Structure 1
Amino acid sequence: MVQRVSMQIGGEELVLETGKMAKQANGAVFAQYAGAAVIATVCASSSGEEDLDYVPLTVDYNEKYYAAGKIPGGFIKREGRPKDKEILVSRLIDRPMRPLFDKRFGRDIQVVPTTVSADQVNPPDILAILASSAAVHISDIPFNGPIAGVRVCAIGNELIVNPTYDQIDKADLEIVVAGTRDGITMVEGGGKEVSEDLMIAALEKAHQVIIQFCDLQEKLRELAGKEKLPLLESQTVLQNRDAIRQAAYPRMQEACFVKGKHERSAAIKAVKDDLAAQYAEQLTDEKQLKQFNALFEELEYEILRTSILERGIRVDGRGTEDIRPITCEIGVLPRTHGSALFTRGETQALAVTTLGTVFDEQIFDDIDGDKRERFILHYNFPPFSVGEVGRLGTGRREIGHGNLARRSLEAMVPSKEEFPYTIRVVSEILESNGSSSMATVCGGTLSMLHAGVPMKKPVAGIAMGLITDGNRYAVLSDILGEEDHLGDMDFKVAGTEDGITGFQMDIKIAGVSPEIMRKALDQAKRGRLHILSIMNQTLNKPTEKISEFAPKIVSLKIDTDKIGALIGPGGKTIKALCEQYGVTINTENDGTVTIYGKNAKNAEDARAAVIGIVEDPEVGRIYDGVVKRIMEFGAFVEILPGKEGLCHISKLSRQRIANVTDVVKEGQRIPVKLLEIDKMGRLNLSYIDAIEAAEDEKQGRRG
């Protein structure tokens, strides 16, 4: 039986429907908003595994080209591996939902939201979040939801819910917020130096809508909800648990505060190994070993959190607001266009900037419409950065962290008119112990400045954490990996001295009060300003000259009616120029001509040639010409590319000369004055008038 619920939002009807499509899935919901539609399904495996220490959840958001009436580009006309955008939306769905599944369910869970209709007006990602949550909520899979997501934009002082693509493009702030009725659990977005007050106002506005979306899902569950499947109750209890805990606790209290990530890990492992040896006989059972490992995780969790809440002391000895030592270096690589090494504690990013041409822009072909990006950021997290062995590659982590860093920097990247280069920043994480994405923001800023990119302002980022027991709380600045893993919040804020440009928050508890949010934002601002002050001591403005190894770009504007003359029949003229000067020339419909050369001379020579082609000869002007042909009656001189005139023999000298070659030779560069353009368009030139004009000018300067 088909069940349907709906509500009005943003001037359109939001519809959630179940019972018509994908009925063999554990749960399926068709969601529609205006011309956008998503089918979300959830399935669980038929059997589970006891005592899992994680939730085996997979979210695979995908977009079909037919949704926008398109056929995939390229040779293979089938949707291929997930695009970066699809992975980013999968993460938006996964992060708020994952904490609400119970590990005791033990079964593999797969959520598949599919965009099947796209109007290229309303983004489908918010629909995908809602449909995914609704599909799980009405299914028989245990879930402590529902959750909902909403996008909020700020245009001026107005906060807009569920904005269109056009509104997003005009916005000063764009965030996607997800949460439950009880509070916000995830935020991701960026801004153009927005204030902390505006950010909090947007979050409060978002949560009001999230509550409405959750109520809509509850209505659908009342109509079509299935009875939830049982959880797998563990039958395994760790033998000698109290004795092991009593012996381990005092030793763990020491081990958890050893300085240095690997040294601390080794100290904790030594305690575990010692007690594992003492109780080796019972730990031959795999279930007993799992419970043993879980006990030590519990001890570390308890010790770290208690120390912070009661003493304000973190495992590396810092106070709650202390930031680890920071060092910045620039120019660490000899042949790159820009490079910087940013180190904060045990987190280190090598950021490299490469400048390219318009032909290096990233082209996106997806259901949102084709677009090009001239600012690209790639983030790499190799296994050696945490002292491990593993496969190299680009996973969801790399794409997600890279996107956050790119958004944080993007607002401060100069426009194409100011700086016509394509900019690619690559962040190689060489060491990691907390917030490598924010180290990427800091390193990316320094490397771009070193490359000569005229950034509007430097950008820095910091990761904040939260520890709370419900009554007490502590906000942590510059969190470690352990504080992220064992804490209640991972909250990253990037920005300039004047405002926020990038924002990401994941909360593991029911919700965070406005008081905590305000304290976290204020503390993050102090930390950001501290980091910026250190960065500015190293480099606070772009270097004056870009690298000699970077391409040289020259830009000029010509009349649109001259574009045809520059291109020539079949592109003959522009191709000849490119070949002659060793450059690439790009023309745009508005008359912008961009020349890309391997060196400055080639680019400038080509620029002069372009000007010559599109420029109309001016009577009375003196040109620097080249003698192309010599005849008995005079010399033909090229004054502009492709434009020749005759300098009659009588205009070569005031005295009578027998031969033209007595004065000029073929290939010689000479000044000539354009005397007239006759009725047939022929150019009449004078060498002697140009010489005399130069002499008169010289005499005038002397006088």
Structure 2
Amino acid sequence: MYTAKFEINGQELILETGRMAKQANGAVIVRLGGSEVLATACCSSEPKEGLDFVPVTVEYNEKYYAAGKIPGGFLKREARPKDKEILVSRLIDRPMRPLFYKAFSRELQVVPTVVSTDQINPPDILGMIGAFAAVMISDIPFNGPVGAVRVALVNDEYVINPTFDQIDESVLDIVVGATNDGICMVEGGGKEVSEDQMLGAISKAEEFLKDFLVFMQEFQDACGKEKLGFHESALVLENSEAMEEYLSPLIEEASFVKGKFERLAALKEVKNAAAEKFAENITDETKPLFSKLFNEIEKKIMRAAVIEKQLRCDGRDPKTIRAITSEIGILAKAHGSALFTRGETQSLGVVTLGSALDEQILDNIDGDKRERFMLHYNFPPYSVGEVGRLMTGRREIGHGHLAFRALEPVLPPKDIYPYTIRIVSEILESNGSSSQATICSGSLSMLAAGVPIKSPVAGIAMGLIKEGDKFQVLSDILGEEDHMGDMDFKVAGTKNGITAFQMDIKISGISKEVMTVALNQAHEGRLHILERMNSVISEPSDNIPENVPKTISFKVPTDKIGMIIGPGGKNIKGLSEKYTAKVNIEESGLLTIFAATSAQAEACEADIRGMVEDPEAGNIYTGKVTRLTDFGAFIEILPGKEGLCHISKIAKERVQKVSDALKEGQEVKVRLIEVDRMGRLNLSIVDADNPDWKPQRTPSRPPRPQGDRPQRK
């Protein structure tokens, strides 16, 4: 067993190997405070022929026992991965994937498991560190070291690996991955932070990771296994030089045909012609090698055109953004809808507003939470002209979360706008940056639904082509530029600052100079997109659809909450049924009514205010007769509050029998003339219409005479 320690914020980060999961290729347990993650790395025993990618899967999982919990619901064991686990798996995968070798050609699986959590130190970063360490000390070839750190901006100070509480207080929260060559991954969000603040956080992360990467390398050197060899393929593509000479001019011409499908068709025609010309050199086994050669030539031509000519495959220069159109009110019955189109990427954003009872309940090891904002991203196969299954995969969850992160900071507070908000983005066309189109359509659709967001939000995807010391940053990248480029760099925000940020680097790392250029160019692009969006709608719409629930919120005394709810929820259920409304009350006393019409909401409000109101002498009420007696009638003037109207106060003329003047269930107007010492309510029907009525003063006792008091025996 081997153990290594590294100090972070006065706590020891501990890496341990050799005690658990010893049959895995690599296994490490990571501890920080009371949080622990066991990470394992394994590879298949045999290589696979013809792979042009790294077949690695990351399965981050959180065990409920880590927090001393039993899973909620009927199924009492951990089942399919939750969205959070999928998002962390993607976070771990992205820095690692470029560091594996394609030539290894074996299936890889990395499994970080949260086995303990102290609810103080977030386990996701431990999962990243554990996964990296497990691969590094294993016998799987890996171009490490690689490390990760979270940085938060709390009270204008950058905090390394913040606690949950510090993250909640922060205005910026990012996770940074890096190798010895530089930054390779950034993901996070902020509350409209500036580009300088974002760069400051990344610089702080770089400063920390320099020392941490040395620690990771020392850990590998001390206990790492000898690496396995690469799979050497015997397959060779014959006559490849002649193929390249023939293909290069044809691919160059086809690569700059305007239009995605037209360009793909032109390239396919060139490929088919070459396959026919060199048919005798291409066998079934070497077809993948021919496709690889074709793709390499295409990539080389595209990258050279950007670096040398500043020319992109659709004819744009590096900074130009594709044509943008925005429309709102697309769907008649939706609460809010918008169609955002940028080039050949199109998103239909649809907003639905619900009550507090529609909030999403999250049951995880960090504690149960309720989420009032949801964003669901759908990427159907028809968006790229293909046939396939309609499903929600890791990509959909990841893109949806990025858009969620971008829009959440501009939402109005719950006490001002109590609705639950759900956005669905249907990607109808895709050729680059559909997640950023989702942010734009989501912002537009919320404004169309009348949601009072702080400011419109737009997103843009940036790319990078780097050859030696030369580089070129690309604004609003296409799918081909993402595939053949060196960086996918997404920035979303308002005119005031950044709200979401995601960067993946396909090369070993990038410099601060490249990062600065990319951020500044993204800022220009974001403002351009916002300008186009604002020309359609820039403020919340006043034209709210009729089917949007009407809402009223107000505070009630906390000591009255029990009375409003009633025994077994009787009172609140009765109000809901009577007014066809949803009534939600929180521990703070914030009460919210959701109803189909304003009249229903206001009537429900009047009843609830009556329940919590203390009756005041002199006020006039509309009450209901609850029972009759020989000496008068009992009348309920407020829910749960009734008083007596004496027979002498029922009418101006003499009443012989109470039942002659009143009936049970009858509504009458009464004045509360007195609340006696015992809290009983005395009512008067006669005085309800008397404008000159004044409360009668109870005669005071005469003063006791001064002098000696008689002594008691």
Secondary structure, counterpart of 1:474 in structure 2: strand
Q: Residue type of the partner of 1:48?
A: P
Provide the aligned C-alpha RMSD in A. 2.0
Residue aligning to 1:46: 45
CA distance in 1, matches of 2:651, 2:348: 66
Residues 1:316 and 2:310 aligned together:
no
CA distance in 1, matches of 2:61, 2:96: 18
Instruction: String of CA shifts for 1:443-478, please: whole Å, max 9, x gaps.
Output: 111111112211111111000011110221111110
Residue aligning to 1:700: none
Residue aligning to 2:488: 490
Residue aligning to 2:19: 20
- Cα offset, 1:235, TM superposition: 3.0
CA distance in 2, matches of 1:594, 1:605: 13
Indicate how the Cα distance of structure 1 residues 259 and 219 shifts in structure 2: closer, same or farther if over 3 A, else same. same
- Cα offset, 1:551, TM superposition: 2.6
CA distance in 1, matches of 2:506, 2:619: 75
446, 449, 466: which one aligns with 1:468: 466
Residue aligning to 1:597: 595
- Cα offset, 1:510, TM superposition: 2.0
- Cα offset, 1:37, TM superposition: 1.0
Between 585-594 and 358-367, the greater mean CA deviation after superposition? 585-594
Residue aligning to 1:416: 414
Residue aligning to 1:6: 5
CA distance in 2, matches of 1:519, 1:361: 41
Asked if the contact 1:257/1:315 (under 8 Å) is kept, the reply is yes
Q: How many residues align?
A: 694
Residue aligning to 1:326: 324
Instruction: String of CA shifts for 1:655-675, please: whole Å, max 9, x gaps.
Output: 567787898776555433211
Q: Residue type of the partner of 1:508?
A: K
Q: Residue type of the partner of 2:334?
A: T
Residue aligning to 1:454: 452
Residues 1:79 and 2:78 aligned together:
yes
Asked if the contact 1:50/1:233 (under 8 Å) is kept, the reply is no
CA distance in 2, matches of 1:363, 1:326: 37
Residues 1:194 and 2:193 aligned together:
yes
Secondary structure, counterpart of 1:467 in structure 2: strand
Asked if the contact 2:58/2:89 (under 8 Å) is kept, the reply is yes
Residue aligning to 1:217: 216
Residue aligning to 1:477: 475
Instruction: String of CA shifts for 1:6-50, please: whole Å, max 9, x gaps.
Output: 111111001111111111111111111111111111111111124
Q: Residue type of the partner of 1:312?
A: Q
Residue aligning to 1:644: 642
CA distance in 2, matches of 1:273, 1:501: 46
Secondary structure, counterpart of 1:390 in structure 2: coil
Q: 5+ residue gaps in structure 2?
A: 695-713
- Cα offset, 1:572, TM superposition: 2.8
Q: Where in structure 2 are the equivalents of 1:461-610 lying within 5 Å?
A: 461-544=459-542, 546-610=544-608
Asked if the contact 2:377/2:396 (under 8 Å) is kept, the reply is yes
- Cα offset, 1:51, TM superposition: 3.9
Residue aligning to 1:399: 397
CA distance in 2, matches of 1:236, 1:573: 78
Residue aligning to 1:142: 141
Secondary structure, counterpart of 1:693 in structure 2: coil
Asked if the contact 2:565/2:571 (under 8 Å) is kept, the reply is yes
Residue aligning to 1:248: 247
CA distance in 2, matches of 1:447, 1:482: 29
Q: 5+ residue gaps in structure 1?
A: 697-703
Q: Residue type of the partner of 1:418?
A: I
Secondary structure, counterpart of 2:386 in structure 1: coil
Q: Residue type of the partner of 1:463?
A: A
Secondary structure, counterpart of 2:22 in structure 1: coil
- Cα offset, 1:144, TM superposition: 0.5
Between 626-635 and 248-257, the greater mean CA deviation after superposition? 626-635
Secondary structure, counterpart of 2:410 in structure 1: coil
Residue aligning to 1:619: 617
Asked if the contact 1:50/1:104 (under 8 Å) is kept, the reply is no
Q: Residue type of the partner of 1:96?
A: P
CA distance in 2, matches of 1:560, 1:680: 24
Instruction: String of CA shifts for 1:57-102, please: whole Å, max 9, x gaps.
Output: 1111111111111111222221111111111111111111011111
Asked if the contact 2:449/2:544 (under 8 Å) is kept, the reply is yes
CA distance in 1, matches of 2:166, 2:345: 37
Secondary structure, counterpart of 2:507 in structure 1: coil
Q: Where in structure 2 are the equivalents of 1:648-667 lying within 5 Å?
A: 648=646, 650-651=648-649, 654=652
Residue aligning to 2:32: 33
Asked if the contact 1:51/1:104 (under 8 Å) is kept, the reply is no
Between 61-70 and 435-444, the greater mean CA deviation after superposition? 61-70
Residue aligning to 2:304: 306
Q: Sequence identity, in percent?
A: 60
Asked if the contact 1:44/1:108 (under 8 Å) is kept, the reply is yes
CA distance in 1, matches of 2:356, 2:615: 31
Residues 1:378 and 2:376 aligned together:
yes
Q: Where in structure 2 are the equivalents of 1:74-113 lying within 5 Å?
A: 74-113=73-112
CA distance in 1, matches of 2:563, 2:100: 66
CA distance in 2, matches of 1:691, 1:636: 19
- Cα offset, 1:294, TM superposition: 0.8
- Cα offset, 1:132, TM superposition: 1.0
Q: Residue type of the partner of 2:222?
A: L
TM-score of the superposition, structure 1-length normalised? 0.95
CA distance in 2, matches of 1:331, 1:605: 31
Instruction: String of CA shifts for 1:512-567, please: whole Å, max 9, x gaps.
Output: 11111111111111111111111111111112354322333322211122222222
Q: Residue type of the partner of 1:195?
A: S
CA distance in 2, matches of 1:634, 1:249: 104
Q: Residue type of the partner of 1:477?
A: S
Residue aligning to 1:280: 279
Residue aligning to 1:159: 158
